[in-house]
Amino acid sequence: MKKSKEMKKDKEKSKWRRVMLAVALVLVAVSIINTFVLITLAGKATEGSGQVSLCINHPPTIQAISNQSVDHNSMFTLQINATDSDNHSLVYYDNTTLFNISNSTGLINFTPTIVQIGNYSILITVRDYTSSCPANVSTAFNLNIYNLPPVNNATIPNQSWEIDVWLTGLDLDNYFYDPENDTLSYSSVHGDNIEIDINSLNVVTFYPDVGWNGVTWARFIASDTLATKESNNLTLGVGDVTPPTIFVHQPNITESSNKLKSILKVSISERGTIKYRLNNQSNVTLCTSCFGGIKNITLPYFGNHSITIYAIDMYGNLNSKVHNFTNYLDSDNDGIPDSEENDADNDGLNDTNDCLIGDASNVNFNFGQLNLTINGSTNLSKQFSGNNPIRFTNGTLPILEFDYNFSFNYSACQRLFRLSEIILEKQENNAARGSVLVRGVNLSTESTKTIYVDRINSSGNVCLKDADITEISEISSGCNETGEYNLTCPGSLGNYTCSVLTSQYKITGVTHSGAIELTGEAPAAETPSSSSSSSSGGGGGGGGGSYKIIEEKIIEVGKNATCEAQTKCTPWIPVNCTSPETQNQTCILVRTNCIVVEKVIEKVCGCVPQWECSVWSECTLNDIQIRTCTDKNNCGQALGMDIQKECEFTNVEAEIKPSAIALVGKAFWGGLKRSADYGVYWITLVMLLPLILFLVRLRNGKKISILFNDTSFKVDEHEIKVCTVVCVNQQDKVNLLEKIKTSHDEEFKIEREIE
């Protein structure tokens, strides 16, 4: 019996051994077939019987993830892709606090902040949680969250302003921005003699040292807390040590006219004195304390000319500019130079047979009415030959008389007489002395002229200068220079005779001619204009005359061409005083042209205004810039500085053939304002540029000056708001320049049917 039980136990053990061996074989086979299958074996056994269960699970598969980068303040989106061959549901996990991955979809979606900038190693885990024996799989990637530095998107302009004035209104937000819209903070670095404050609105105020003028510098730095960006270097001119900029609007580089006259139109960038010198003649003052001026100038001849413009600002800074131009004769003013016509004066006579070119309208004169007769006749549209008396009168009063020999031989003129070359000038209406100047009448050696001078002071003496002069002012005050003759009227002196008429002096025997009445004493010499002033006005810082220059003199002229501008001043003396007492200060100034000046400045004791002025505004539609100035000390004194000035234009000149028509179209204008979309402005310019290039290529023609600003341009002096210019190559009587001159700066459109 005992042996039978032992045999039964041995059979059961053998049975279990076979089961275990079978399980082991199965496990080996599964492992060989798929090493990624998860098998779970569970069971329990008793002495007599047992139970086992087997779980087989394929782990999920996750797609590899490349390294990622994202700008902070930008949305970061990444989809994690995983699959499960057993179709189990998946759940996603991450190991970071930067974001929370969607557990069900594996989507990462978040916007990093500036404080999260850096490099992160991210581990993503996927689990097939619906399996009886869940399995995990993981992958890692690197995430870089970065920051872009601020951008300096515009050049900050150089600044210049008056001495002892604070300058404000420069908004740094107009010149920087941050690509991620981070809040920017600003700081500055700067040179000597200036302090800079940036308020909470990022507006800059410049505080120069009291009494200092000169040039210094500044630079601004924008920061988003992690990165910075610097601006360009600004030049800061206090006391305006920079010479004014000169703009020559007329004469055009090429122009034509029916007489020896041209229009000089000049503007400068700041208030000052403008002078000019034509063809190396004497300097002439165009205007003082001005931003620009217009003047009719008399040319000595047709052809090439050079005019030098001088601008002197209120601080004595000098600038000059040379402008070269060519003036062609156009006797009949039809837009075609005489050299290109057979009948230049349009009198019906071919120029080969016409010894007289022009009529009275071609003569340059400065008085009310000019009459011209030849042989006592006003008919000038006929062929002249031989010796003929010619007489010019101002109404009924004679001005000039002479005989002229029109040489006409072999059916052609041997000697042309061009009236456009004659210049007749009398004294101004309010002059204290009569005078006359005659130019452009070139007679043969045996002929002379008779001139007439108005009797205004009845002194009985006339100074005659029988030389080729361009201005009556070239006659000396004492009538004692070379070529000058003091004539007693009535009386004779050499070849000259002076007679006394009712209201004129008649002088005969003259070859060239300029004459002026003399007084009992030599006339006082004209006092030259000065760029300095007894009151500092906009530059003294005191405004309302609180500062006054009581002495200014040049104490040294340096040998160098340029110097660094410097100013050194003594303290105000006396230190303590009360109104109406005054204090004095002595300053030594070294200017950029190396002239050393000593100034003694006086101011009234008591309240001294401290002016704070904004930067100049953008150009308005009226072509002006404005600013506001406030007295921070509230002294109640008047402002002594300009609060508006003319805009500066960029001059682009386009050449047009005389036979071309210019059709000016009023386009794109419909409520466009300066603050409007600049896209229209640029589109207009793009349309204009090919045209301008086309016009410049045309030869032997006139030129018009096209001046651009933000939302308009000017043709010559006349503004056309956002319009286009089209030129067609066809003959037409319409003269564009004449139309423009009569348009009075209004918006206009010249329309002409094109054949």
Residue range 66-115, pLDDT digits in tens: 999 999 999 999 999 999 988 888 999 999 999 999 999 999 999 999 99
Cα(606)–Cα(579) distance, integer angstroms: 5
- Which pLDDT score is estimated for 111? 94
SS3 state at 486? strand
- The mean pLDDT of 396-402, rounded to a whole number, is 92
- Relative to beta strand 38-45, strand 435-439 is unpaired
Q: What integer pLDDT is reported at residue 36 of this predicted model? A: 43
- % of the chain with per-residue pLDDT over 70: 72
Q: Measured between alpha carbons, how far is 109 from 77 in angstroms, rounded to an integer?
A: 4
Contact in structure between 274 and 268 (CB atoms under 8 Å): yes
Nearest-CA neighbor of 523 among 478, 462, 460, 465?
A: 478
Q: What is the pLDDT of residues 218-243, one digit of tens each?
A: 999 999 999 999 999 998 988 766 78
More confident residue, 714 or 417: 417
Statement: residue 673 has pLDDT above 60: no
Question: For the segment 423-450, what is each residue's pLDDT rounded down to a tens digit?
Answer: 999 998 888 899 999 988 887 666 899 9
Residue 161 sits at the vertex; the CA angle it makes with 157 and 167, to the nearest 5 degrees, is 80
Determine the average pLDDT of the residues in 315-335. 87
Listed range (106-115, 349-358, 547-556) with the worst mean pLDDT: 547-556
pLDDT band at 689 (very low <50, low <70, confident <90, very high): low
Least confident of 65-69, 92-96, 137-141, 312-316: 312-316
Q: Which long-range contacts (CB under 8 A, 24 or more apart) does 604-608 make?
A: 604/542, 604/546, 604/579, 604/580, 605/577, 605/578, 605/579, 605/580, 605/581, 606/578, 606/579, 607/579, 607/633, 607/635, 607/636, 607/637, 608/541, 608/542, 608/546, 608/633, 608/635
The strand pairing partners of 319, in sequence order, are 311
Q: Measuring CA to CA, which residue among 172, 212, 222, 165 is closest to residue 192? A: 212
Q: Which residue has the tokens 């204008």?
A: 669
What pLDDT, on a 0 to 100 scale, did the predictor assign at position 454?
93
What value does the mean pLDDT take over residues 351-363? Answer: 87
Look at residue 389 and tell me whether its pLDDT is greater than 60. yes
Q: What per-residue confidence (pLDDT) applies to 205?
A: 95
Tokens of residue 379, six digits:
């008919």
Q: What is the mean pLDDT of residues 308-336?
A: 87
pLDDT of residue 142 exceeding 60:
yes
Q: Lowest mean pLDDT: which of 84-93, 278-287, 697-706?
A: 697-706
Residue scoring higher pLDDT (657 or 555):
555
Of 49-63, 131-145, 663-677, the least confident: 663-677
Q: What is the mean pLDDT of residues 381-403?
A: 90
Residue reference for tokens 């990622």: 68
User: Whole-model pTM?
Assistant: 0.41
CA–CA separation, 593 vs 558, rounded Å?
Answer: 8
Cα–Cα distance for residue pair 209/195, rounded to 1 Å: 8
What pLDDT shows up at residue 149? 94
Summarize the confidence of residues 269-281 as an average pLDDT: 88
| pLDDT (mean) for 624-635 | 83
Q: Is the pLDDT of residue 539 over 50?
A: no
CA–CA separation, 327 vs 659, rounded Å?
Answer: 18
pLDDT at 704 over 50: no
pLDDT score at 569: 80
Beta carbons of 707 and 714 less than 8 angstroms apart? yes
The predicted-structure confidence for 27-50, as pLDDT tens digits, reads as follows: 655 554 444 444 444 445 455 565
Backbone angles phi, psi at 360, to 5 degrees: -60, -25
DSSP state of 609: -
Residue 493, sorted as left (phi over 0), alpha (psi -120 to 50) or beta, turns out to be beta
Partner residues linked to 62 by β-bridges: 82
Give the model's pLDDT for residue 143: 96
CA–CA separation, 594 vs 167, rounded Å?
28
Give percent helix, percent strand, percent coil of the chain, each to the nearest 5: 10, 45, 45
pLDDT of residue 559: 60
Q: What is the pLDDT of residue 730?
A: 34
Above 90 in pLDDT, residue 318?
no
Q: Rounded mean pLDDT of the chain?
A: 77
Buried b or exposed e, range 493-528, using 16+ CB within 10 angstroms: eeebbbeeeeebbbbebbbbbbbbbbeeeeeeeeee
| Structure-model confidence comparison of residues 699 and 300, the more confident one | 300
Q: Give 133 or 186, the one with higher predicted confidence.
A: 186
List the structure tokens of 509.
């025997």
Q: Peptide bond before 523: cis, by omega within 30 degrees of 0?
A: no
Confirm if 336 and 658 have CB atoms less than 8 A apart.
yes
> In angstroms, how far apart are the furthest CA atoms of the chain?
188
CA distance 750 to 235: 46
Rounded CA-CA distance 662/656 in Å is 8
pLDDT band at 312 (very low <50, low <70, confident <90, very high): confident
Among the ranges 161-170, 442-451, 600-609, 661-670, which has the highest mean pLDDT value? 161-170
Q: Residue 665: pLDDT above 90?
A: no
Residue 37's pLDDT is: 45
In this predicted structure, the answer to whether residue 571 has a pLDDT above a threshold of 90 is no
Residue 587: phi, psi to the nearest 5? -125, 140
Give the CA distances from residue 300 to residues 136, 262, 443, 609, in Å, rounded to whole numbers and listed in that order. Answer: 102, 11, 17, 52
From the list 472, 366, 426, the residue with the least C-alpha distance to 484 is: 472
Specify the pLDDT at position 668.
Answer: 38
Residue 347: Cβ-neighbour burial (10 angstroms; 0-12, 13-18, 19+)? buried
pLDDT of 140:
94
**Mean per-residue pLDDT for 396-404?**
92
Q: At which residue do the structure tokens 């045309």 appear?
A: 698
Instruction: Give the pLDDT band of residue 452 (cuts 50, 70, 90).
Output: very high
Find the mean pLDDT for residues 605-623. Answer: 81
Per-residue pLDDT at 612 exceeds 60: yes
